[in-house]
Structure 1
């Protein structure tokens, strides 16, 4: 792709839900996520928005911790957004994020194509690492979150391809 070429997205990829640890990443003193944690999610959100997808993400929606929704509101909104999305992508978290693991369960039950980003040197629960036997999931193992982007578009293409969606990544 040349520098002036438009970035394309898989034709089936209209909406993406980006999940990951949230509450445990909010500093109780500031009421906000750290800049480094925000950047990890912001970069992922931006990656898909540049490709034309609408991205749903609780972290951004709730102002990185400054504007938490009620439990009932957050639960309904996350479930509805995952239901609408063409792709679920998340950092399961180490230690495990209970909320993200619920979202992974929803995405799996809803038969959503999934990409889970797992830290190489951390121990993840077997119900996440064994999920490929039950769901359409791709794992991206990383040491540094910046490594994810070298593998992301190919993982999207594979997972959407298995779901029967036509994919085009330029």
Structure 2
């Protein structure tokens, strides 16, 4: 299964131009867990070498859309402050009928995100990747059950 992992990007680059170390490690761990379970992952952070090989918007928007459109599922990591880019990718996935797994405690920050399950196949996991107290294996176990199509939430 091809998994498109949508996660905050530019908001995770610090003032020195580097991707925030702890967030990068946690997101990398999540990518690795997904791949070790037999799935392939596309993530723009990896595609642009964690900000070290940035693409122009006219390049990365087309690439991201193409990769998302050929994915079997989208795992959308909202972040502490939901990313506008992730929100756009949620819209693409919804319009294309691609199942979505939303990871975030701030789902209610947008009524469009919290109500997305009314028009799309969406599962919500109330977790924050930025919370260092949350072990990635526990988060991945929650994601994994949805990757196997266990259920879609009726409400958030």
Using the size of structure 1 for normalisation, the TM-score is: 0.78
Match of 2:6 among 19, 39, 47: 19
Deviations 1:29-65 (A, max 9, x none): 1x11111110221112111211222210011111111
Query: In structure 1, what is the equivalent of residue 141 of structure 2?
Result: 150
Unpaired stretches in structure 2, ≥5 consecutive residues? none
* Larger displacement relative to structure 2 (93-102 or 76-85): 93-102
- The alignment covers a number of residue pairs equal to 146
Report the Cα offset of residue 96 of structure 1.
Answer: 2.1
Query: In structure 2, what is the equivalent of residue 34 of structure 1?
Result: 20
Unpaired stretches in structure 1, ≥5 consecutive residues? 1-12, 163-170
Deviations 1:96-141 (A, max 9, x none): 2111111010000000011010126x75211111111111010111
Structure 1 runs (4+) deviating above 2 angstroms are 143-147
CA distance in 2, matches of 1:87, 1:76: 18
| Aligned Cα root-mean-square deviation (Å) | 1.9
Query: In structure 1, what is the equivalent of residue 82 of structure 2?
Result: 96
CA distance in 2, matches of 1:158, 1:24: 31
Match of 2:44 among 49, 58, 73: 58
Match of 1:111 among 97, 122, 126: 97
CA distance in 1, matches of 2:77, 2:149: 19
Deviations 1:1-27 (A, max 9, x none): xxxxxxxxxxxx2x1100111001101
CA distance in 2, matches of 1:157, 1:103: 21
Secondary structure of the structure 1 residue equivalent to 2:19: coil
1:136 and 2:121 matched: yes
Q: Which has the larger radius of gyration?
A: 1
Using the size of structure 2 for normalisation, the TM-score is: 0.85
